[in-house]
Amino acid sequence: MKLQIADYLIISIYFLFVIAVGFIIKKRIKSSNDFLSSGRNIPLWITSLAFISANLGAQEVLGMVASGAKYGIMTVHFYWIGAIFAMVFLGVFMMPFYYGSKARSVPEYLFLRFDEKTRALNAITFAVMTIFSSGISLYALAKLLEVILHWNFDLCIWAAAGIVMAYTFLGGLTSAVYNEVLQFFLIVLGLSPLVIVALQDAGGWESIRTNLQPQLTHTWKYMGHADDNPMGIQFMSLIFGLGFVMSFGYWCTDFLVVQRAMIAKNMSAAQRTPIVAAIPKLFMPLVVVLPGVIAITLMQPALQSKGFSIPSDANGQLDYTMALPALISHYYPSGLLGLGITALIASFMSGMAGNVTAFNSVFTFDIYQSYFVKNKSDKHYLMVGKLITLVGILLSIGTAYIASSYNNINDFLQLVFSFVNGPLFATFLLGMFWKRTTGHGAFWGLMAGTIAAAITHGLTIAEGKGGWISPMFEIKSGMGQAFIVASFSWIANFFSTILISLATKPKPDEALRGLVYSLTEKVKAEEQKWYLKAAPLGLILLIITIILNIIFF
């Protein structure tokens, strides 16, 4: 892949714009809340697109295309069973507590609802995870540019980190959010021509269905038995593991995405943020799953004359992660090639900036202000927030180099993250909807969930991974294993939290008003028109999602 002047020009225009956004927003930053929480003053269309874009990082774009090539259309379960239902639940049921409690972060909500130790556990694990995610994103970007464009690895790391630092340091969360919206349009519009031209070259959807095994072109039909589908998982495990535990755990509790809804102008906008975001999310598989399905179709014997192939890795296996770069290289001429590469760079930078801004909010509010320096002036916390942005970027660079030195560290970290994140939704579900849940129950439930995740992973083996206690159960795919690990960790957390809560003293009702469903006055809809209310909008989205599942059954 070789870039021409026009390609470099497009990449340069993008860099210029993202830094310019930082300078424009800088004028609006007057307080620590402006810098770390955007002063709760961002319009709905921006919070919604930022909400979806915060998740549109490298793992999403490259990873979903790779999964589309590996597992076929079943990958849409991440959207049509996973994300949409969870986003609607967040908007309708959980945002009133996050937004109404006036908490500035998810860990702060845990402090208000439970106690200091539960907040500390969540804040510290979240801060560590965001830094590692940011560093891994940076490493993956530099590695990709080194492999496909032969750019210098170190230069890529420092240049990309420098640009993200420039706009997050200048404009804080607002700058990151504005750039996420630009990145959203760039990713969608930069990759859409690729889908159209590649789909046309593959002969359209009918040709895909003819040339691929039927297991790769149906979402549910082959899920009756684990051995019948490429993910190696039965439908109940999928619905519970992915649809409930993992998706609700991520979309409803991860501060990285929830933060985008918490900065909305008012409660109504905060509730509608994830629901409006779910509209483009519903159709995102067209841009990030379909290319993978097309890529694997183009490699079938009947279409080999098209000359497309996914590169192989060192073991001679197809390197599915390279499916998207391979498609871009194959179909995009000079000019559009620059746009495609810029879209990839944008996805990495979006992921990194999202992590860094979430890290500086949690570190400043939930660690620094809570445990180290209390009751200082707002100017002091603004300065700390900016300083932490720099520290976050430097730590990300350090993590990127660690990731480059250890082949398996990415897999290891992703695994640890799943141990921590998997059970988290049980804590929030019980905390928000059962007033008897106690701080001790929440804390030790989280611990039990994490331990259960580690044990389940140690007893199962998939694609050579896991089974470190004893490989008693074999699972066909790593993805299937992840769903099962998450399910067990959630169940362990759920029941441990209930048992320990029943044995410990709950907070008085007065302290839980606005934090628990049964003790909170129902939110009166600010919007009068039904189509501007969260619940009807959510219901329509769920109906459309079910129809899509039936169409591609």
Partner 1 sequence: MLEKFNQLSFIIGAFFMLVAIVLLGGYLISDDMKQNINLYTGIGLLIFGLFMIKIKASE
Question: What is the 3-state composition of the chain as percent helix, strand, coil, each rounded to the nearest 5?
Answer: 75, 0, 20
Distance of alpha carbon 212 from alpha carbon 512, whole angstroms: 55
Contact 542, 85 (CB under 8 A): yes
Residue with smaller CB distance to partner 1, 4 or 470: 4
Closer to partner 1 by Cβ: residue 170 or 238: 170
Least spacing, CB of residue 552 vs partner 1, in Å: 27
What is the 8-class DSSP label of residue 284? T
Q: Is 81 or 336 the residue whose CB approaches partner 1 more closely?
A: 336
Q: How far is the CB of 132 from partner 1 (least distance, A)?
A: 30
Half-sphere exposure of 279 (CA within 13 A, CB side): 10
Q: Least CB distance from residue 184 to partner 1, whole Å?
A: 9
Q: At what angle do helices 116-149 and 439-459 cross, to 10 degrees?
A: 40
| C-beta closer to partner 1: residue 7 or 254 | 7
Least separation in angstroms between CB 58 and partner 1: 21
Considering the complex, what minimum distance in angstroms separates the CB of residue 115 from partner 1? 39
Which CB sits closer to partner 1, 195 or 535?
195
To partner 1, the closest distance from the beta carbon of 25 in angstroms equals 9
Provide the minimum distance between the beta carbon of 277 and partner 1 in the complex, in angstroms, as a whole number.
16
Q: What 3-state DSSP class applies to 462?
A: strand
Burial class (CB in 10 A: 0-12, 13-18, 19+), 549: middle
Nearer CB in complex with partner 1: 12/312: 12
Q: By C-beta, is 91 or 338 nearer to partner 1? A: 338
Between 15 and 89, CB nearer to partner 1: 15
User: Is the CB of residue 431 less than 8 Å from the CB of residue 439?
Assistant: no
Which residues have a Cβ under 8 Å from the Cβ of 383 and sit 6 or more positions away?
Answer: none
CA separation, residue 442 to residues 40, 117, 367 (Å): 29, 10, 19
Positions that interact with partner 1 (CB under 8 A) = 4, 6, 9-10, 13-14, 17, 20-21, 24, 43, 45-46, 178, 181-182, 185-186, 189, 193, 197, 331-336, 338-339
The residue among 208, 206, 217, 214 whose CA lies nearest residue 74 is 217
Q: At its nearest, how many Å lie between partner 1 and the CB of residue 43?
A: 5
Kindly tell me which of 280 and 506 has the beta carbon lying closer to partner 1. Answer: 280
- Tell me how far, at minimum, the Cβ of 311 lies from partner 1, in Å: 23
Cα–Cα distances (Å) from 540 to 276, 286, 442, 497, in that order, read 11, 20, 34, 34
Left if phi > 0, otherwise alpha if psi is -120 to 50, otherwise beta: which for 336?
alpha
Helix/strand/coil (H, E, C) string of 199-254?
A: HHHCCHHHHHHHHCCHHHCCCCCCCCCHHHCCCCCCHHHHHHHHHHHHHHHHHHHC
Of 6 and 390, the one with the shorter C-beta distance to partner 1 is 6
Least distance CB 325 / partner 1 (angstroms): 17
CA triplet 358, 361, 366: central angle to 5 degrees?
120
Provide the minimum distance between the beta carbon of 27 and partner 1 in the complex, in angstroms, as a whole number: 9
Contact status, residue 248 vs residue 38, Cβ threshold 8 Å:
no
Q: Which is nearer to partner 1, 3 or 267 (CB)?
A: 3
* DSSP one-letter string for 45-107: HHHHHHHHHTT-SHHHHHHHHHHHHHHGGGGGHIIIIIIHHHHHHIIIIIHHHHHHTT-SSHH
Q: Judged by CB, which is closer to partner 1: 9, or 546?
A: 9
Q: Phi then psi for 380, rounded to 5 degrees? A: -65, -45
Q: How far is the CB of 275 from partner 1 (least distance, A)?
A: 18
Helices and strands (DSSP H and E) totals, the chain:
25, 3
Q: Which two tokens stand for residue 269?
A: 């906008």
